[in-house]
Structure 1
């Protein structure tokens, strides 16, 4: 009997971790963006995925269509009033968004977002709500406070259950339709005044880290355009802000746009790159287990193509029906 019982016991011991890994797995979705000069369609057959370094089956890969996307344009109200020269670029961008994309216009103030125009597919109405920033130095308090609060209170999103006890009530009226891919485009100098000095030796901000985690939990890809604040000037402050914006982009699967350490003459090239990124983004569906964030890594065998995702994803995140 010992020769029979021992193999069974060993099988039970080796199988248990697999069963535990499977137990509690829930359907999960994440944004995946192609990074290629000549993008080709992404699908289940040419994509591989690892969750917490374990190979994971991809169940579906669906391209994000305009009607299934939301773009939150968040403008720092502390930007220099000279930003008004770029207002026409903003208007052109909002009016030119593909039909069906929902756009929100918000201004970052005092650690939160003042919504001037809730999510709408009426791009002309949204463009009409654009204005020159107030230009008061540090008015956002910190763009990362604003991003955190906005991600946790994503307008129209239903509050999460016990899986995310930190979830808060939605901010503003719900948008029409069901689940959609979420994108944020921030225009800010990126400086975190609450983290003290902008010295190169002080670039570890807990507030930036929190903003990244909150965006990851909400499944939001964060893009940004660097533009100087009315009160923070000079190469060191600009470098600090750009470093933080790049950190947020890398953590959430977005991109940080900037032109050296000076303000861009035109925002149009950045807007064009942003729209291209959205058009080359997919929603991948897979199973994941865990109560909080798990690490995700995606790759493809498509030629000369890399995949960009958030670094972490919350099991149970749903971005598409």
Structure 2
């Protein structure tokens, strides 16, 4: 009788351990063949959009209606702030507004601060939900002499971001968008590989334009081309780029207020997709019949290869 009781106890402990180690039921994106995309709901005139339900959304892959396996509001967010060290030092006059933005984020937002230099992301503060601590990592950029490529730096930073099936990841880039490693190219040759990686790993890249220090960053054609690259990067990753002509903005406050609204209204959309034996990128689209609502979402998604 004692042996039977002992065996039953061991069986109960084993079952309890299995339950503890089992994945959470909402971790749909961890299933083979699942793809998760971050979707930002946007209302007209920067108003707060209504709550969006799965039945409110129509999802298309290659123009064909696709079933949404899971739709849930994004909670935890990893927000990596990346500041180009080549920026004019005057940008630091905006740090008080940026600190205010940090402190307005909920405790579920983890912020890191890094500086882009020589194609590398130099981390000044790792991810923390102590937003005052993150704000202490803000400093004057180096300015002239720190010229590199913001796109190579983004590729470096994306390798280090935490990953999880039910967590959002965003990068907020402060840069001129100018690639000094390939200064005479019509666009940065690293631009496409940067947004393709962001699409594959479901990372939104938001950007705010600011001129570089030194005379090279002041040339109109370079500034215009840099802004075009930043816009393409943001749009391709399901985000937005903010700028006002080729001059610095008087204040970042309206940009950051709009970004706060966007981050409050994000959803994780999961669907099943097969990319064949090698995996492939397909066009995707979202639509809704809700009035005055539209979505920011990457126009393409990487479908994993068949197992």
Query: What TM-score, normalized by structure 1, do the two folds share?
Result: 0.78
- SS across alignment from 1:149: helix
Alignment deviations for residues 144-203 of structure 1 (CA, whole Å, 9 cap, x no partner): 11111212x133338xxxxxxxxxxxxxxxxxxx74101110000011223333xxxx53
Partner residue in 2 for 1:83: 91
- SS across alignment from 2:218: coil
Is 1:180 paired with 2:187? Answer: no
Alignment deviations for residues 265-291 of structure 1 (CA, whole Å, 9 cap, x no partner): 111111111111111111111111112
Partner residue in 1 for 2:125: 117
**Residue pairs, 1:50-129, within 5 angstroms:** 50-65=60-75, 68-129=76-137
CA distance in structure 2 between the partners assigned to 1:149 and 1:294 by the alignment: 25
1:48/1:298 contact within 8 Å kept: yes
Matched residue count: 266
**Residues 25 and 102 (structure 1 numbering): CA distance in 2 closer, same or farther, change over 3 Å?**
closer
Structure 1 unaligned segments of length 5 or more: list them: 1-23, 159-177, 317-321
- SS across alignment from 1:58: coil
Query: What TM-score, normalized by structure 2, do the two folds share?
Result: 0.81
**Residue pairs, 1:1-321, within 5 angstroms:** 26-37=33-44, 38=47, 39-65=49-75, 68-137=76-145, 139-151=146-158, 153-157=159-163, 179-197=166-184, 203-231=186-214, 232-290=217-275, 291-315=279-303
CA distance in structure 1 between the partners assigned to 2:64 and 2:156 by the alignment: 32
- SS across alignment from 2:170: strand
- SS across alignment from 2:292: coil
CA distance in structure 1 between the partners assigned to 2:131 and 2:147 by the alignment: 25
Alignment deviations for residues 107-166 of structure 1 (CA, whole Å, 9 cap, x no partner): 1111110111111111111111111111124x2511011111212x133338xxxxxxxx
